Amino acid sequence: MKKLFLILFIPLYSLFLPPAASGVTPYIIGPDVKIINNNIVVRTSIADIADFEQIVKSSIGKEIIFTAELMRVWDFWPDEFIVSKKIRKIVKYDNLRDQYRTSWRDGITRTDNIFTEFNTMKNWILSEDSISIANIKELEPGSYYIRFVVESKSREKIPLIGFLMYLVPEVEMSLAKESQSFILGIDK
């Protein structure tokens, strides 16, 4: 019975595994932190996502989640989490109209766009130019940095048999990077 289970389980399991990694590893460019009108604004993008065009054109919806976390540096204690902001970008390819339907969500507002050119859509979906994290007037003096996390998820659920659901990862790609530390509220 065990042999029969292994014979059936191993091929079924290999069908739901993600494909082997390619030679190109995605990475985060930035995050660039600027203070504009007393607001901490972060800019970043992702580079080298392998087969992104092929994945999107297969009509499987993709969701890219940008999370920026403001952290305060402490000398002898773990760094303190202050606030975070999450941006969700979703893309789905429409085969009939040959266009990309995209959506931008930050928890409060939603913006929908339609792109006809792949490179324009790719530049828009894989970058975020102005994430406003916090107002510096509300922060205590100290040293801070931004931890940036990017996750990629598939929007389509693969029909699976009950207990196999936990074997397929929900997050396909997860990247993290920290900015250079910056000082707020301390006169130099």
Q: Which of the two residues, 26 and 179, has the higher pLDDT score? A: 179
Residue 45 domain flag: yes
107-116 mean pLDDT: 91
Instruction: Please indicate, yes or no, if residue 117 is contained in any of the structural domains.
Output: yes
- Quote the CA–CA distance of 38 and 86 in Å, as a whole number: 20
Residue 102 domain-assigned (yes or no)? yes
Q: What percent of the chain is modeled with pLDDT above 90?
A: 26
Q: Give residue-wise pLDDT tens across range 30-67.
A: 888 899 998 999 998 888 777 778 878 887 788 889 99
If we measure between CA atoms, which residue out of 48, 54, 42 comes closest to residue 22? 48
Average pLDDT across the chain, whole number = 80
Q: Which residues contact 82 (CB under 8 A, 6 or more apart)?
A: 69, 70, 71, 72, 134, 139, 144
Residue 53 lies in a domain: yes
Is residue 77 situated within a structural domain? yes
Within a domain: 34: yes
- Split into its structural domains, the chain has a count of 1
pLDDT, position 152: 85
Q: Can you give the residue range of the structural domain that contains 92?
A: 30-177
- What gap in Å lies between CA 40 and CA 87, rounded to an integer? 16
Shortest CA distance to 125 belongs to which of 47, 54, 19, 32? 47
Residue 3 lies in a domain: no
pTM, two decimals, is: 0.74
Is residue 90 within 8 A of residue 102, CB to CB? The reply is: yes
